[in-house]
């Protein structure tokens, strides 16, 4: 499953969106579902996740991490299925390149209808993990582009945590983290004082299993 920021239709502020694909066969024909597909013999779990993502939505995320392996007995009405779910964060420029069509569409992550299989539960778990990682860690920056303002970082936190944060105190904390680098560029074009641009210099934190083929 993929998270990206998109402006809310009402307020215009950034909110969390995920792309879903429509089921074109039974079971759950016509319902929306998380993109996915089979694991072949010649690819690692992470490679399979990347490939399935690219094939269904055209997306190539810069942040991809294993979420959880779901293996309950009755996840699909027709057969036993074990799904090893990965989740991704994509930057706005990447997200804009996604192939949208009749059967692939973006939805607000907090306003989904009934999905196929147990996918509502999977989305809920991913949202919970995202909020947790956000609180302590440097994951928010993967939803932004290379350069960003501190106000944009705050908006990401506000969108994910769903509460407002004090701008001044938030600045102080973010600036205290060593992975945030001040540039000498400013974002022009607003109707107000132009904010300084910053850059994230940390590494994504690799998964234990994604060392490539030897």
211 binds its own copies (CB under 8 A): yes
Name the segment binding DNA (CB under 7 A); options: 78-86, 126-134, 171-179, 199-207: 171-179
Q: Closest CB to its own copies among 86 and 148? A: 86
Residue 109 backbone phi and psi in degrees, to 5:
-65, -25
Instruction: Please list, in sequence order, all residues whose beta carbon lies within 8 angstroms of the beta carbon of residue 61, skipping any fewer than 6 positions away.
Output: 2, 50, 53, 88, 89, 90, 94
Binding test (CB under 8 A) with its own copies, winner from 13, 29, 37, 82: 82
- Dihedrals φ, ψ of 79, to 5°? -160, 165
The C-alpha atoms of residue 134 and residue 144 are separated, in whole angstroms, by: 14
Stretch of 13-21, 34-42, 102-110, 146-154 contacting DNA, by CB under 7 A: 146-154
Binding track over 131-160 against its own copies, x by CB under 8 A: -----x------------------------
Query: Does 45 contact its own copies by CB under 8 A?
Result: yes
Counting contacts by CB under 8 A, is residue 81 touching its own copies?
Answer: no
Residue pointed to by tokens 């949208």: 100
93 binds, among DNA, its own copies, none (CB under 5 to 8 A by kind): none
* Binding partner of 190, given DNA, its own copies, none, CB within 5-8 angstroms per partner class: DNA
Helix axes 119-135, 150-161, angle to 10 degrees: 140
Let me know: does 88 contact 204? Beta carbons within 8 Å.
no
Which region, left, alpha or beta, applies to residue 183 given φ > 0 means left and ψ of -120 to 50 means alpha?
beta
Residue 210 CB, shortest distance to its own copies, in Å, is 8
Backbone angles phi, psi at 77, to 5 degrees: -70, -20
- Cβ pair 184, 131 in contact under 8 A: no
CB nearer to its own copies: pick between 46 and 91: 46
Among 169, 183, 185, 201, the residue binding DNA under the rule CB under 7 A is 169
The reply to whether 93 sits near DNA by the rule CB under 7 A is no
Q: Which residues bind its own copies (CB under 8 A)?
A: 39, 41-45, 66, 68-74, 80, 82, 84, 121-122, 125, 136, 208-209, 211, 213-214
């Amino acid at each position: 499953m993929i998270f990206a920021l998109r402006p809310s239709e009402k307020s215009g502020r950034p909110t969390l969106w995920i792309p879903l694909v429509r089921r074109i066969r039974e079971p759950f024909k016509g319902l929306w579902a998380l993109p996915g597909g089979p694991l072949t013999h010649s690819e690692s779990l992470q490679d399979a996740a990347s490939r399935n993502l690219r094939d269904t939505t055209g997306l190539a995320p810069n942040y991809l991490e294993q979420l959880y392996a779901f293996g309950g007995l009755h996840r699909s009405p027709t057969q036993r299925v074990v799904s090893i779910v990965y989740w991704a964060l994509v930057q706005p420029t990447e997200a804009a390149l996604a192939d949208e069509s009749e059967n692939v569409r973006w939805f607000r992550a907090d306003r989904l209808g009934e999905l196929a299989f147990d996918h509502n539960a999977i989305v809920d778990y991913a949202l919970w993990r995202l909020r947790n990682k956000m609180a302590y860690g440097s994951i928010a920056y993967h939803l932004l582009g290379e350069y960003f303002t501190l106000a944009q970082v705050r908006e990401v936190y506000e969108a994910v945590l769903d509460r407002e944060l004090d701008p001044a105190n938030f600045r102080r904390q973010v600036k205290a983290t060593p992975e945030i680098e001040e540039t000498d560029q400013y974002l022009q074009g607003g109707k107000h004082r132009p904010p300084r641009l910053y850059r994230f210099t940390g590494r994504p934190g690799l998964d234990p299993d994604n060392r490539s083929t030897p």
